[in-house]
């Protein structure tokens, strides 16, 4: 059991982490630091954190572990703020959805001013904020860690926390993570954000009826497309290179599909759909 852990940004992911750490009795005191008074108050009220702070200062030295749970574009800067007070025994981790985000200065400070073990719990919802947090959000899901060196003690500390709250751990290179996520998460979100706009640009008389008939697949896209705009703008820009590559592949396949339809290629279309159905079956079987 740790004496103190700090969670910077106790919103959806940060407060869910706080709840899970507390319900598994992994820490005596959890400090929440956030610029959002609402999230700080909500996280405190639901007992995801024990102390509320608005700024990072010398008091952070008391925490053995600091989890940064803010949008991806803010993480590197926050680590630099922490480094003004931290010592090399302290472990910093994050939950950001892109992992190749650290500047050279931060990488140089690693192991001198702190030990950095970046992470990404593959769990979440389209909602944000501590108010939507769930203590079991991470149960039976995967957490990817992308350690920057082989500091066994720090890697063990972070993996043990996630394991104790029910996650399975996978360790990989940051670039490998970003490439995989560009396909399994970032592209699907990009498509959802686009398709909803495409529908409303359709030249049809009864636009309102579009909503009435949106019960099928379209509604699923609007759910994904309702995810937080700030968080997703950050993700698309921070994972620009891999996302561009994945998008090119997708556009190539979409063009091929269009060609099959234009040229009435029944077998090609049927086999493509059949293959997708089989992939879906194997995903369900793995209980992801």
The C-alpha atoms of residue 183 and residue 239 are separated, in whole angstroms, by 11
**Which one of 4, 7, 11, 143 is in contact with ligand NAP (CB under 6 A)?**
11
Q: Kindly tell me which of 37 and 249 has the beta carbon lying closer to ligand NAP.
A: 37
Q: Kindly tell me which of 50 and 268 has the beta carbon lying closer to ligand NAP.
A: 50
**Which one of 72, 158, 190, 243 is in contact with ligand NAP (CB under 6 A)?**
72
Min CB(227)–ligand NAP separation in Å: 7
Task: Find the part of the chain contacting ligand NAP (CB under 6 A) among 18-26, 92-100, 176-184, 263-271.
Answer: 92-100
CA-wise closest residue to 72 among 107, 101, 104: 101
CA 155, distance to chain mean position in Å, is: 19
**Which one of 93, 106, 115, 128 is in contact with ligand NAP (CB under 6 A)?**
128
Q: Is position 32 an interface residue for ligand NAP (rule: CB under 6 A)?
A: no
Q: Kindly tell me which of 125 and 222 has the beta carbon lying closer to ligand NAP.
A: 125
Enumerate residues 36-55 that contact ligand NAP by CB under 6 A: 36, 39
Min CB(258)–ligand NAP separation in Å: 32
Q: Is position 79 an interface residue for ligand NAP (rule: CB under 6 A)?
A: no
Q: Is position 92 an interface residue for ligand NAP (rule: CB under 6 A)?
A: no
CA-wise closest residue to 227 among 119, 97, 114: 97
Structure tokens at 198: 């495409």
Min CB(10)–ligand NAP separation in Å: 7
Q: Kindly tell me which of 98 and 148 has the beta carbon lying closer to ligand NAP.
A: 98
Enumerate residues 143-182 that contact ligand NAP by CB under 6 A: none
The C-alpha atoms of residue 264 and residue 270 are separated, in whole angstroms, by 11
Task: Find the part of the chain contacting ligand NAP (CB under 6 A) among 101-109, 120-128, 139-147, 160-168.
Answer: 120-128
**Which one of 18, 32, 71, 118 is in contact with ligand NAP (CB under 6 A)?**
71
Q: For residues 228, 232, 234 and 238, what is the CA-based torsion angle, rounded to 10 degrees?
A: 160
Q: Is position 239 an interface residue for ligand NAP (rule: CB under 6 A)?
A: no
CA-wise closest residue to 192 among 162, 235, 163, 227: 227
Task: Find the part of the chain contacting ligand NAP (CB under 6 A) among 121-129, 168-176, 210-218, 264-272.
Answer: 121-129
Residues in contact with 136: Cβ distance below 8 Å, sequence separation at least 6, in sequence order: 20, 166
The C-alpha atoms of residue 278 and residue 142 are separated, in whole angstroms, by 22
Q: For residues 126, 24, 97 and 32, what is the CA-based torsion angle, rounded to 10 degrees?
A: 90
Strand 119-121, strand 142-145: pairing: antiparallel
Beta bridge partners of 7: 32, 67
Enumerate residues 96-115 that contact ligand NAP by CB under 6 A: 96-97
**Which one of 18, 119, 124, 225 is in contact with ligand NAP (CB under 6 A)?**
124
> Is the CB of residue 129 less than 8 Å from the CB of residue 39?
yes
DSSP 213-269: TTTTHHHHHHHHTTS-HHHHHHHHHHTHHHHHHHHHHHHHHHHHHHHHHHTT-HHHH
Q: Which residues bind ligand NAP (CB under 6 A)?
A: 8-9, 11-14, 34-36, 39, 69-72, 74, 78, 95-97, 120-121, 124-125, 128-129, 228, 231, 235
């Amino acid at each position: 059991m740790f004496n103190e852990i700090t969670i910077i940004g106790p919103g959806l992911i940060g407060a869910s982490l706080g709840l899970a750490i507390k319900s598994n009795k992994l820490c005596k005191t959890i400090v929440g630091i956030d610029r959002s008074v609402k999230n700080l108050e909500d996280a405190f009220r639901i007992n995801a954190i024990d102390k509320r702070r608005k700024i990072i200062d010398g008091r952070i030295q008391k925490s053995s572990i600091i989890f940064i749970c803010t949008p991806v574009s803010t993480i590197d800067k926050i680590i630099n703020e922490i480094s003004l007070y931290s010592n090399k025994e302290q472990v910093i981790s994050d939950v950001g959805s892109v992992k190749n985000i650290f500047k050279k200065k931060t990488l140089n400070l690693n192991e001198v001013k702190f030990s950095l073990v970046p992470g990404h719990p593959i769990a979440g919802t389209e909602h944000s904020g501590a108010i939507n947090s769930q203590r079991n959000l991470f149960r039976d899901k995967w957490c990817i860690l992308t350690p920057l060196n082989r500091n066994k003690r720090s890697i063990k500390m972070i993996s043990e926390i996630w394991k104790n709250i029910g996650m399975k751990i996978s360790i990989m290179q940051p670039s490998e993570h970003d490439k995989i996520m560009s396909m399994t998460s970032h592209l699907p979100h990009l498509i959802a954000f686009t398709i909803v706009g495409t529908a409303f640009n359709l030249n049809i008389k009864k636009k309102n009826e579009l909503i009435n008939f949106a019960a099928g697949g379209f509604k699923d896209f609007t759910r994904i497309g309702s995810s937080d705009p700030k968080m997703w703008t950050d993700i698309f820009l921070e994972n620009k290179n891999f996302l561009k590559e994945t998008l090119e592949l997708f556009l190539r396949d979409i063009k091929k599909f269009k060609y099959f339809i234009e040229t009435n290629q029944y077998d090609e279309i049927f086999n493509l759909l059949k293959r997708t159905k089989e992939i879906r079956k194997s995903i369900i079987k793995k209980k992801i």
